[in-house]
């Protein structure tokens, strides 16, 4: 090829196209960044906290109680958001009972030190005593103050297929930078 401009464009495309393809693959199948919007996960995450989520755990079927996940539930978020960040409280086959502000899983009171001692507000009687169907999870926001978190107390168990990924790392604020367990 004798045209130097065409040769430069081809050289540039040879560098840029693989980067774009790899980036799309990583975002679709491995992980991505997300930003917390709202206060439903206080005190664990504040508004505008930047997180990294990984997508392999859901694909491998290894989500577990206590994992913090990003779920796709636009129909429950007033059209303002598409995704929500919540903590898995129970998985398929587990019985959940919310009574007197406490969560019981299979009859055992859940130790929830991540809520900051905030008492749970009233819950819908439809979703406060149930066995989570297989292939579903029961999620709650860490902020249990009345009206602060739309979660499984409002919309019931969530299909695992709606999980975008599991939170693994906090990037911002820098003072809290680190791995999420």
- Per-residue model confidence as pLDDT tens digits over 88-144: 999 999 999 998 888 999 999 998 888 877 767 666 678 889 999 999 999 999 998
CA 77 to chain CA centroid, Å, is 14
> Does residue 24 fall inside a structural domain?
no
> Does residue 11 fall inside a structural domain?
no
> Does residue 13 fall inside a structural domain?
no
Average the pLDDT over each of 17-26, 116-125, 172-181 and give the range with the smallest value. Answer: 116-125
* Strand order from edge to edge, sheet including 108-109: 108-109, 102-105, 95-99, 129-131
Overall number of domains in the chain: 1
Could you tell me the CATH number of the domain that includes residue 133? 2.10.109.10
CB atoms within 10 A of CB 110: 16
Q: What is the pTM of this model?
A: 0.85
| Host domain of residue 168 | 35-172
Range list of H helices, the chain: 4-25, 56-60, 152-155
**98 pairs with which residues across the strands?**
103
């Amino acid at each position: 090829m004798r045209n130097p401009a065409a040769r430069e464009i081809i050289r540039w495309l040879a560098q840029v196209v693989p980067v774009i393809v790899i980036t799309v693959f990583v975002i679709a199948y491995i992980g991505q960044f997300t930003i917390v919007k709202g206060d439903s996960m206080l005190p664990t995450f504040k508004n505008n906290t930047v997180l990294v989520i990984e997508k392999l755990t859901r694909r491998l079927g290894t989500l577990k109680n206590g994992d913090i996940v990003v779920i796709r539930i636009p129909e429950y978020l007033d059209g303002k958001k598409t995704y929500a960040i919540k903590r898995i409280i129970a998985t398929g086959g587990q019985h959940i009972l919310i009574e007197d502000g406490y969560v019981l899983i299979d009859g055992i009171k859940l130790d929830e030190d991540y809520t900051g001692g905030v008492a749970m507000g009233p819950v819908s009687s439809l979703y406060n005593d149930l066995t989570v169907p297989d292939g579903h999870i029961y999620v709650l926001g860490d902020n249990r103050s009345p009206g602060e978190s739309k979660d499984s107390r409002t919309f019931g168990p969530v299909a695992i297929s709606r999980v975008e990924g599991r939170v693994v790392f906090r990037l911002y604020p820098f003072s809290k930078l680190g791995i999420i367990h």
